[in-house]
Structure 1
Amino acid sequence: MTPPDGGAAPAYGIQLPVQSQSTLYAEPWEAAAGPEDLLALARAAEHAGFAYLATCDHVAVPRRLAPAMGTVWYDPVATLAYLAAATTRIRLLSHVAIVGLRHPLLTAKQYATLDHLSGGRLILGVGAGHVREEFEALGVDFGQRGAVLDEAIDALRATLGPDEFPSHHGKFHDFEGLGQRPRPAQERVPVWVGGSSSAAVRRAALKGDGWLPQGDPRDRLPAQIDRLRRLRAEAGIAQPLTVGAITEPLYVGTPEWEVGRRTLSGAPDALAESLRAYPAMGVHQIQVRFRSRSRTELVDQIQAFGAEVAPHLT
């Protein structure tokens, strides 16, 4: 996804409900939802002009975190492949894949196949992870996760590139002479780096094609974006960086139920006016999430945003 020119409307995408059900954001109706709901929402988002669908990644959630995180976390590769077969245009984003949990050759095999099958629609979002027990269960050093991710990005650049026999020689992984086909359909799979810590922002600036913040409020974004630009300029990196933001929860129209203090609601033009603050900061794509009480209401919200809010984001 190429960043829009200055003054252009930002792209807009959505992390799908149902596939991850943290108690921090899941709606009650999602508990009984399933594959047919994911399909309906993915198709609605594509028809409404959304740029991407996003899914999360956790292998296993420990008991101590289950009350907050829940244990419903669909596998991102399987889920995105399922949705790819039901859509034609919309991009497929892992937000984010904890690539340090898996060997780069395994990650590359999965995501290269996904990109091949979807006709080049993958955006690989990566992050360091935060659940110690998850790393320990899979035999990965939690304390080294940042360094592992740094190297994994380099290894994935090679394994998701055009070479049938990629090579990588690093501290954590060393391989060459091992062929993998099919290759990705894209010549260069975009890698968006997630996280808002100092280390994550630096990683995005120096190694990413995009940055996926993790819940930064509006007033914190300008300083983060300035740092991204400064680090990238100091490193002499000329390629554009797609800067993202996660908006406040949204509800298009006047809700007849309690949607929460942080939720932005109201007339489409008022919502668009508020959201235009993001591109004014230098944000190229916004990830939106809607409050809803059912799949039907969420589809209506997606359609209303695409038809009535998005045209006014410029």
Structure 2
Amino acid sequence: MRYGIQLPVQSQSTLYTEPWETTAGPGDLVAVARAADAAGFAYVAVCDHVAVPRRLAAAMSTVWYDPVATLAFLAAHTRTVRLLSHVAVVGLRHPLLTAKQYATLDRLAGGRLVLGVGAGHVREEFEALGVDFARRGAVLDETIDALRAALGPEEFPEHHGKLYDFGGLGQRPRPVQPRVPLWVGGSSDAAVRRAALRGDGWLPQGDPRERLAERITRIRRLREEAGIGEPFTFGAIAEPLHIGRPAWDVGRRTLAGDPEVLAESLRAYRAMGVDRLQVRFRSRGRAELMDQIAAFAAEVAPRL
């Protein structure tokens, strides 16, 4: 089981943002990404929203960096860590445009892209961009199929579907990877089925532990029934963590304590079949977050 992290600063939902992030900037983002890279993290992740309506701004905030621009920026400041969109709402854009952006990113980053995709949930965002919110699941299904074609090795990719029809258009650069890993986000029944039948991996949205095992079993069953034998990555998002005994209130849901105590708790994810565990650390500033990342890599990860 390897581990990754969603980066701070680049998205500032009240569900997970620490107070210090509101005044942080690109330098802080780079420093944390470099710390994760140096600590051997499997990936760093960024989110995606084009625009947030007033009714949701208090909870979601309006701070959402563009994922392609952000990951390209971070690619120049990191060496080996993979670059994950968690998740890109790809149905908001034409798949040829999305493919062009992410293929270029994969080329510039030396083949480090993991494309995480999701259906989206903000109605006004879809309406402003002229996309049918009610049919976003069907749109995502075909978009995934179109992206498979457009991100493949062919210089002139083709896709002929109900929503998108293209062929005979040359598109370069091609990705470095022969097959860009495509992980599907979401926890609904439709999202789980979509991940099983169309994805290379699954990114749940913070599901409680007790729900994960059943969904992992379902994905395995669906893939077996469909005769899909390719490798598949099972993700999970762990509870907030704090290594050591905190001298401040880290919240009742936070797992805090000595490295072995935390490792024992996190090993339960591996027992369920999780391959990639996304971790998040409570912190009061950039320095504390970087210390937590280093401590996790040195003291907790070897016990996993």
Q: TM-score range by the shorter chain?
A: over 0.9
Which residue of 49, 55, 59 corresponds with 2:40? 49
**Separation of aligned partners in 1, 2:200 and 2:34:** 27
AA aligned to 2:163 is F
Q: Normalised by the size of structure 1, how large is the TM-score? A: 0.96
In the alignment, is residue 287 of structure 1 matched against residue 278 of structure 2?
yes
Unaligned runs of 5+ in 1: 1-9
User: Counterpart of 2:52 in structure 1: which amino acid?
Assistant: V
Q: What TM-score comes out, normalization by structure 2 length?
A: 1.00
Match for 1:266 among 257, 261, 264? 257
* Residue 201 of structure 1: aligned partner: 192
Per-residue deviation, 1:240: 1.6
Q: 2:223 maps to what in 1?
A: 232
Q: Helix, strand or coil for the counterpart of 1:96?
A: strand
Aligned to 2:98: 107
Q: What residue in structure 1 maps to residue 88 of structure 2?
A: 97
- Provide the residue aligned with 2:49 in structure 1: 58
Report the Cα distance in structure 2 between the residues aligned to 1:135 and 1:96, rounded to whole angstroms. Answer: 16
Query: Does residue 221 in structure 1 map to residue 212 in structure 2?
Result: yes
List structure 1 segments (4+ residues) > 3 angstroms apart after TM superposition: none
Q: Which residue of 2 aligns with 1:139?
A: 130
Task: Supply the distance in 1 between the matched residues of 2:277 and 2:217 (Cα, whole angstroms).
Answer: 18
How far apart, CA to CA, are the structure 1 residues paired with 2:153 and 2:20?
43
Q: Report percent identity of matched pairs.
A: 78
Match of 1:187 in 2: 178
2:140 corresponds in structure 1 to 149
Q: Does 1:130 find its partner at 2:121? A: yes
Match of 2:243 in 1: 252
Could you tell me which runs of 5 or more consecutive residues in structure 2 were left unpaired when the two chains were aligned.
none
Aligned-partner SS, 2:170 = coil
- Tell me the distance in 2 between the aligned counterparts of 1:49 and 1:225: 26
Q: Provide the alpha-carbon RMSD of the alignment.
A: 0.4
* SS of structure 2 residue aligned to 1:93: strand
Q: 1:159 aligns with which of 134, 150, 154?
A: 150
- State how far apart, in whole Å, the 1-side matches of 2:179 and 2:230 are: 13
For 1:34, the equivalent position in structure 2 comes to 25
Per-residue deviation, residues 95-151 of structure 1 (Å, max 9, x unmatched): 000000000000000000000000000000000000000000000000110000000
